Structure 1
């Protein structure tokens, strides 16, 4: 009798193990992205990783490669090397690209802003190459720029061979590296004016307008989602780097190697839901907000006004008391000359004696040594109790 009861108990336990269970929204290895080969979930402001799965595995990224292409385009725009109104003439090489494209013709001319839109919305391989050639002269030279940026950003698991992600040997990256370059791209908030477009047209005034529909359908259906880039090849399967912002809280989710679009979108949605349900951010400084003033001994300007180069926040779990987090300013003593890029201090957030987030501050411009006449004038003002000069408006970066 006892042995029969044991057999029935064993069979009952086995039957329970076969009952499918819903995926739980917890940051366990398989909880959020069970079907992805690799995944990562990150707070954009602080870079805090909220969930990861095989995030260092080297995989083909397909068109997610274009995040780096767009980053270098945005940098060239910021540096004044190109402008949105530039007229780009399409080469034979650019027009020969297969896969996703806007069917550019050799010799066709299109504005840079429309080329960028074609890449961001339609994942156009031909437009990616045309942009690369316009900035660097050749696609090969642009790829060299991409790989130099890889090293600069510390993307240790990445190597690019082209600008658009078409299959090529020794072209790979990781979910973690995608998150790193995506954070860098999001430093240019204007990029989301392109990546959040759901549908638009190119060549509107021509006889053959081209209808663009975003390859990332979640920009229409997920609250706050405004980018960034999809990817698919037979080798890479379905990939997506997605970012969403609610109030001041921006989150980034990356999945690689999903079996189909539905699973890709479902798991990205689950990751983002987890972040927004469990966390929020405590904003300490908005971009451009004054942080303080620093004296520069013997500088041409004897004080600089320090402003936040970007939004600075700290990640907190919902329900935590914001008063538990303290802001600490850590300034350096500065003596002229202070060169552009020199470290001038940092802003730290401290909880229970531990630093939980930090923003490094560097000088945005050169402040040379003061001349003899400037020093004499300052000494005279001090002797006569006259007010000091106003600080320079120094936006750190």
Structure 2
């Protein structure tokens, strides 16, 4: 059992990656083995998509719900033992609602039981290069030894995007029909708040905290970021927004896309048998391979009318090509009705949608690189001021109520590391200033009608009345963004300095205040050395 402090402050870890090349742009505790919670379902869905591609199962396969799946705790779709439900609905429930019973039902349908599916998950993780991950179940509920890392989950998110583009946009759906009920996305607040976000998966358990693997695209850049150990939905979303902002700022505009190589995956029959309990015997049975070929399912366009028109034209051409007398008007009307019904039926067959572009959902390769790749940025170990203030954001929607191991008496297993300083600071109770504005979550907006000052957090300068100015900006949003990026880069030097946007007649001035004279001069010297603008301001 872990101490109460560790239970309330799960270790923090994060990694930011350029999805186009796999280059790491930022990392913090990225290889520390932690509880992944429902990020596990990304692997469950990856295997489900693989099985569909290889002909082991289909979207229309009727799955008989096992007792194991029906007994899973919330979040649930509400499956019952012996119930039959199409695989497509289970995929939607697991990806969008993060339903634990749906994920377990997928694993049992593909591999027979939880132990065999976990073995396949681990074999797949190994093939994908996830070196520090071990799975014990399909949904991520707390289990001893069920651990992963921020790096491995980011790699898995990148694989979902590149290996299964025809299914990827399921992660950006706000709602979906899961057969038994309409389900809502646990990640909808982040998807709605962050420009360009299109996935991927949230996770919450008591030992894990609030986790998220997120992906966003802006222009020709795509960034994937993973965070472990958040203290609430709002705090986690704000922090991941900062990580993605950092990634977009550091990623080069033009790079040669480097798609991951296709993995060498085994069929279920080739997976090693799970270890048998002591005192029992077990043997491994192998079957020679999977089906030789399985055609990729046709992408479902965002607007069904495109396919409908093509089908209607093809059927009409086939009818007119037949050398028969012209049919009577009643026969023509009946044929048109049958064609429309056939089109509607065919449009409903495909349930997991592909991106709206009819040509290819994958990003187009960028031109050859114009500059050398940038080196990865490693965060300083000291707590960041912006991390401290994020804990003060009120959380109107607690994801723990809709996802995770909310069972009160479930045992909690110890983490492999002590809680990080950032995580401990996040647990402190605080009240957010009414004027706080998160640059990462605030879209560009026209200048305000009334002149005002925005202070990032309440002052605690203790008499320190020096500061630095980063210069004037055309908009308040641009000034806030410059302050946030500078705070991330120079957290050690800036220390407890306060971010402040001052409204001037000539623009919006980005300042750090509440510093000693010596600290202000040091911070300016470091920023100028980075080719930045900086001026010391005094009392």
TM-score, normalised to structure 2, is: 0.46
Q: Measured at CA, do residues 175 and 314 of structure 1 come closer, stay the same or move farther in structure 2, by a change above 3 Å?
A: farther
Deviating more after overlay: 240-249 vs 159-168: 240-249
Of 110, 129, 143, which residue of structure 1 is paired with 2:85?
110
Larger RCO: Structure 1 or Structure 2 (Cα < 8 Å, ≥ 6 residues apart)?
A: 2
Q: Distance in 1 between matches of 2:367 and 2:210?
A: 30
Matched positions, count:
261
**TM-aligned CA deviation for residue 36 of structure 1:** 6.8
Cα deviation code 1:101-142 (max 9, x no counterpart): 101111222211111010110001111111111111222111
**TM-aligned CA deviation for residue 314 of structure 1:** 6.9
Query: Given the alignment of the two structures, is residue 93 of structure 1 paired with residue 64 of structure 2, yes or no?
Result: no
**TM-aligned CA deviation for residue 91 of structure 1:** 1.3
Q: Distance in 1 between matches of 2:84 and 2:131?
A: 37
Q: Secondary structure, in 3 states, of the residue corresponding to 1:238?
A: strand
**TM-aligned CA deviation for residue 279 of structure 1:** 2.7
Cα deviation code 1:72-98 (max 9, x no counterpart): 111111112111111111111111111
Contact 2:90 2:178 in 1 (8 A): no
- The corresponding residue for 1:192 is 168
Gaps of 5+ in 1: 1-34, 204-208, 288-307, 317-321, 326-397
Contact 1:281 1:315 in 2 (8 A): no
Q: Measured at CA, do residues 43 and 129 of structure 1 come closer, stay the same or move farther in structure 2, by a change above 3 Å?
A: same
Of 46, 56, 77, which residue of structure 2 is paired with 1:81?
56
TM-score, normalised to structure 1, is: 0.61
**TM-aligned CA deviation for residue 260 of structure 1:** 1.2
Of 127, 140, 143, which residue of structure 2 is paired with 1:165?
140
Name the structure with the higher helix share.
Answer: 2
Cα deviation code 1:340-367 (max 9, x no counterpart): xxxxxxxxxxxxxxxxxxxxxxxxxxxx
Cα RMSD for the two superposed structures: 2.6
Q: Measured at CA, do residues 323 and 272 of structure 1 come closer, stay the same or move farther in structure 2, by a change above 3 Å?
A: closer
**TM-aligned CA deviation for residue 99 of structure 1:** 2.0
Of 251, 276, 297, which residue of structure 1 is paired with 2:223?
251
Q: Measured at CA, do residues 195 and 311 of structure 1 come closer, stay the same or move farther in structure 2, by a change above 3 Å?
A: closer
- Runs of 4 or more, structure 1, over 4 Å off, are 283-287, 310-316, 322-325
Q: Measured at CA, do residues 233 and 41 of structure 1 come closer, stay the same or move farther in structure 2, by a change above 3 Å?
A: same
Q: Secondary structure, in 3 states, of the residue corresponding to 1:107?
A: coil
Query: Given the alignment of the two structures, is residue 225 of structure 1 paired with residue 197 of structure 2, yes or no?
Result: yes
**TM-aligned CA deviation for residue 267 of structure 1:** 0.7
Q: Distance in 2 between matches of 1:238 and 1:278?
A: 26
**TM-aligned CA deviation for residue 162 of structure 1:** 0.6
**TM-aligned CA deviation for residue 211 of structure 1:** 3.1
Q: Distance in 1 between matches of 2:255 and 2:53?
A: 26
Name the structure with the higher strand share.
Answer: 1
